[in-house]
Structure 1
Amino acid sequence: MKEKNTPKIASVPGGEGGAPPAGKRGSPGIRLLTALIFLAVAGYFGIQIYSALADPMICAVAYRYQTEDTLSVTGFVVRDEETLGDSGGGLLRLTRSEGERVSAGGTVAQIYADQASLDRQTEIDRLRTQLDQLNYAAEAASAGGAALQLDGLISEALLSVRRSVAADRLDTAADAAAELEALTLRREYTYTDAAELKAQAEELKSQLSALTAQSAGRSRTVAAPRSGLYSAVADGYESVLTPDMLDTLTPSALAAVRPAEGAGDLGKLVLGDAWYFAASLSAADAERLSVGSAQTLRFAKGVDRDLRVTVQSVSAAENGRCVAVFRGTAYLAQLTLLRAQTADVVFSAISGIRVPQQAIRVDESGAPGVYCVVGAEARFKPVRLLWSSDDGYALVEAEGTGAAILRPGDQVILSAGGLTDGAVVSYAG
């Protein structure tokens, strides 16, 4: 009987199922090291994520700022004024600009019998201006730098027109525009030779002589009865609000002020050198003012500068209101058109570097300061607190030296954990 050949299964080292040798599966030490590295990396990133979420570093930019302690009031500008009477018919032509000083007997206006007479005078003025430009060009023809000088004057005149328009002072803008036109004509004549300039001047003189002869007796002059500043606008308050009544003015009387009828149509003269501002305010606010004290007044419109004034009087309280009268002596010529006004009384102004109050901390010695981002580090910069507001900001002054001086533009740290001088921070923007 033949035996069946049964296939033999070769034994594989490592035991049943083909498992690898124990030495090839990795030792317990390697597995432990791998686990430790994994836990360390995971722990590091976990701590960073927790720190960022639990106490993120927040920064703000420090910048220069000024705050003011002000009081807003409303009232009237008062001056010593005299109206100029009715023109008595005819066409009026003013010869003075707004705020121009006029001597007693000086001409403030011309009144013409008809439109033809007024047009003739307008042409006379135009020819006189043109003749002045020709004479200037003839005198400056020998000066090599005349053209360059005129270019500079034209540039200044352009800037003057722009400033006047931006400040809403159309009266001064008109004067600046007239000056610009005159300078432009002078510049144009610099290209004309001397012989031609002389011929044009003679022709203009001939035309002026003829027009002047035709206009004789066709107009009358309005003269100033006394010296003062001329204003073309009479609004009816000239006889209602006077300096003499201010010390006894009550809040109810000020509220009842109305312009008078029939103001002079030739304008007015502003007399003296002082102006006044009578304002209504609450009795509580009036307690902040003391008679004789110097204050700063800032009108809401019409004047582009702060005005130094003195508190002349403060009335007794009436139904919780008072009248304060401020007196000024500067810039009267620029206030001739002002009447009803809103103004701010500026008691004080504080300038400093604005930072969030949250950023102010104290160091080990108890000195106040702020931490700033310098490169990749937090640096402590000492400060002195000047002012703090209700909205969470403060004005400070730098107290440090060298690199520890707080400057506008520094990144001030508001919130971050474990802040110390020289600590490495992750925020750099």
Structure 2
Amino acid sequence: MKDRALGTKFLLALVTLGVLAYFGIQAFRYFTDPLATTAAYAYSVDRSVSLSGYVVRQELVLEDSGGLLRLQRTEGERVSAGGTVALVYSDQASLDRQTELASLEARLEQLQFAQQAAQGAEVSLKLDTQILQGILDLRGALAADRLDKAETYGQDLRSLVLKRDYTYSETEDLSGQITELSGQISALRAQAASSTRRITAPEAGLYSAVVDGYERVLTPDMLESLTPSSLTALQADESVRSEVGKLILGDAWYYAAVVSEADAQTLSEGKSLHLRFSKSVEQDLPVSVYHVSAAESGRVVIVLRGTSYLPELTLLRQQSAEVILGSVSGIRVPREALRAEKTTLDENGQAVTTEQAGVYCLVGMEARFKPVEVVYSGDGFALVRSAYDTAAGDLTGSQEVARLRAGDQVIIAGRDLYDGKVLG
């Protein structure tokens, strides 16, 4: 009797240990389950070729002139034929006289405005709006490091503030001040006429203050004769200099770069593409393939031609860029989520694998296998489309369930996954 009681206790202890071991294993599996998911989403990737080349334009260097120079045009500003590009002063006194003249003319304009503004209060409100916009423009130019624009915005803002200040002043004596200032301005103009000379544009074009020495060694006329070796060895002509600047003629610009012969296979002449500069220009620029040179040691020169956004390109010369060949769209999933086989359970509960590309997705509390086709493989991710991407009316119920969509929860990692496995 004593032995039977001992055996019963030993059996109960074994059962208890078995139950504890079972729940311990289940708890361990639960807390160490590698199941991880992420959302799939629509994504596009540009197919591009990286380039390093030169921006080419038809350019006319303006001749230097002795004396003190004051430029009258901003970068990228269009100048008509005969338009003033710069003023040249014979000596410092002439320059100081011109500075004083500009100050008096600005003050005269402010007084005339104040005299007119006295007729209506709505002018003050309009000035307040213009001052606020002027502050925003100045701040934007400083943030973009465009000091040339910031100087212009600063001058305009000072003028607006002074105009606003004059609207608070008494206007009875403005006529006398205006008459006095007009006399001073007339006298200064007469003195300045004999000591000031204008530099004008011989042709219409866009103004640029930067002369870099490539204006005469890299022209549109020579683009079709460029070879990879000649473009690589290109050097600026240091003798070409001008403090006045240059004019960019015409509306077309070109970008010449050396690429491998393999990359050039997709760049046939006349093909429309988009060019993306690495800096200075925020948007992709429409271009066409203007010329592809003969191959030289497995390399060719490609020349792209554009006719838009020329005022934004006046400061560009040697520049890195990407030519956009096209784009690929699909559903983005992590590469580790891709599976080469689909696993199911037969009627006996045995795992059956079928060779098929796809991903497992968490649908409700189940893992569901969704077949896909890989359309692009990137760094750590892949773009895929569902194997059942067709008109919804052509799909069966099971195919519709197995269709991958943007927003599905894709399983990145999981233990012993198969189609229909209950998770959680």
Same fold (TM over 0.5): yes
2:347 alignment partner in structure 1: none
CA contact (8 A) 1:381 1:406 kept: no
1:414 alignment partner in structure 2: 412
The alpha-carbon deviation at position 45 of structure 1 amounts to 2.6
Matches within 5 A, 1:48-63: 48-50=27-29, 53=32, 56-60=34-38, 62=40
CA contact (8 A) 2:369 2:418 kept: no
Question: Which residue of 41, 53, 58 maps to 1:75?
Answer: 53
The answer to whether 1:170 aligns with 2:147 is yes
Question: Which residue of 186, 191, 210 maps to 2:187?
Answer: 210
Residue 177 to residue 396, structure 1, CA distance change in 2 (3 Å): farther
The alpha-carbon deviation at position 227 of structure 1 amounts to 1.2
The alpha-carbon deviation at position 249 of structure 1 amounts to 1.5
Matches within 5 A, 1:333-352: 333-350=311-328
SS at match of 1:124: helix
Residue type of the alignment partner of 2:162:
L
The alpha-carbon deviation at position 183 of structure 1 amounts to 3.4
Residue type of the alignment partner of 2:383:
L
Q: Distance in 2 between matches of 1:199 and 1:370?
A: 87
2:63 alignment partner in structure 1: 85
The answer to whether 1:46 aligns with 2:25 is yes
Per-residue CA distance 1:287-321 (angstroms, 9 max, x = gap): 22110001111122232222111110010012222
Q: Which deviates more from structure 2 when the two are superposed, residues 279-288 or residues 305-314?
A: 279-288
The alpha-carbon deviation at position 93 of structure 1 amounts to 0.8
SS at match of 2:212: coil
The alpha-carbon deviation at position 389 of structure 1 amounts to 2.0
CA contact (8 A) 2:359 2:410 kept: no
1:225 alignment partner in structure 2: 202
The alpha-carbon deviation at position 116 of structure 1 amounts to 1.4
CA contact (8 A) 1:290 1:311 kept: yes
Per-residue CA distance 1:154-202 (angstroms, 9 max, x = gap): 4444443444444444333333333333333344444334446555544
Matches within 5 A, 1:194-205: 194-195=171-172, 200-205=177-182
The answer to whether 1:125 aligns with 2:102 is yes
The alpha-carbon deviation at position 46 of structure 1 amounts to 1.1
Residue 107 to residue 370, structure 1, CA distance change in 2 (3 Å): farther
Question: Which residue of 154, 157, 175 maps to 1:180?
Answer: 157
Count of residue pairs brought into register by the alignment: 397
The answer to whether 1:393 aligns with 2:384 is no
TM-score (norm 1): 0.78
The alpha-carbon deviation at position 424 of structure 1 amounts to 4.5
TM-score (norm 2): 0.79
The alpha-carbon deviation at position 71 of structure 1 amounts to 1.3
Q: Distance in 1 between matches of 2:130 and 2:368?
A: 53
CA contact (8 A) 1:251 1:321 kept: yes
Unpaired segments of 5 or more residues in structure 1?
Answer: 1-21
Matches within 5 A, 1:265-304: 265-304=243-282
Residue 90 to residue 378, structure 1, CA distance change in 2 (3 Å): farther
Q: Distance in 2 between matches of 1:419 and 1:143?
A: 81
SS at match of 1:272: strand
SS at match of 2:211: coil
SS at match of 1:311: strand
Per-residue CA distance 1:306-354 (angstroms, 9 max, x = gap): 2111110010012222111111100111212221111111212345553
- Mark the structure with the bigger radius of gyration: 1
CA contact (8 A) 2:278 2:320 kept: yes
User: What RMSD, in angstroms, separates the aligned Cα atoms of the two structures?
Assistant: 3.8
CA contact (8 A) 1:373 1:379 kept: yes
Matches within 5 A, 1:238-253: 238-253=215-230
Q: Which deviates more from structure 2 when the two are superposed, residues 276-285 or residues 172-181?
A: 172-181
Residue type of the alignment partner of 2:361:
Y
